[in-house]
Structure 1
Amino acid sequence: MEDKSYERAKKRMENLKSFYIHLAVFILFNSMLFLINFLSYEESGHWWFLYPLLGWGIGLASHGISVASFGIFGPDWEEKKIQEYIEKEKRTKV
Structure 2
Amino acid sequence: MAYLTPDDLERLAHKRAGAKLGWYIHATVYVAVNLLIFALSSYAFGHRPWSVFPLLGWGLGLALHGVAVFMLGDGSSLRRRLLERERERLRREQDHVPRS
Same fold (TM over 0.5): yes
RMSD: 3.1
Over the matched positions of the two proteins, sequence identity in percent amounts to 28
Instruction: Indicate yes or no: 2:39 matched with 1:35.
Output: yes
Structure 1 residues 36 and 79: alpha-carbon distance in aligned structure 2, compared to 1, 3 A threshold: same
Match of 1:50 in 2: 52
Query: Structure 2: which 5+ runs fail to align?
Result: none
Query: Structure 1: which 5+ runs fail to align?
Result: none
Structure 1 residues 4 and 76: alpha-carbon distance in aligned structure 2, compared to 1, 3 A threshold: farther
The CA deviation at 1:79 is 8.9
Structure 1 residues 63 and 17: alpha-carbon distance in aligned structure 2, compared to 1, 3 A threshold: same
Match of 2:29 among 25, 34, 49: 25
Structure 1 residues 80 and 6: alpha-carbon distance in aligned structure 2, compared to 1, 3 A threshold: farther
2: CA distance, partners of 1:76 / 1:20? 21
User: Higher helix fraction: Structure 1 or Structure 2?
Assistant: 1
The aligned length equals 89
Structure 1 residues 55 and 80: alpha-carbon distance in aligned structure 2, compared to 1, 3 A threshold: closer
- TM-score for the superposition, normalised by structure 2: 0.68
Find the structure with the greater CA-based Rg: 2
The CA deviation at 1:74 is 2.0
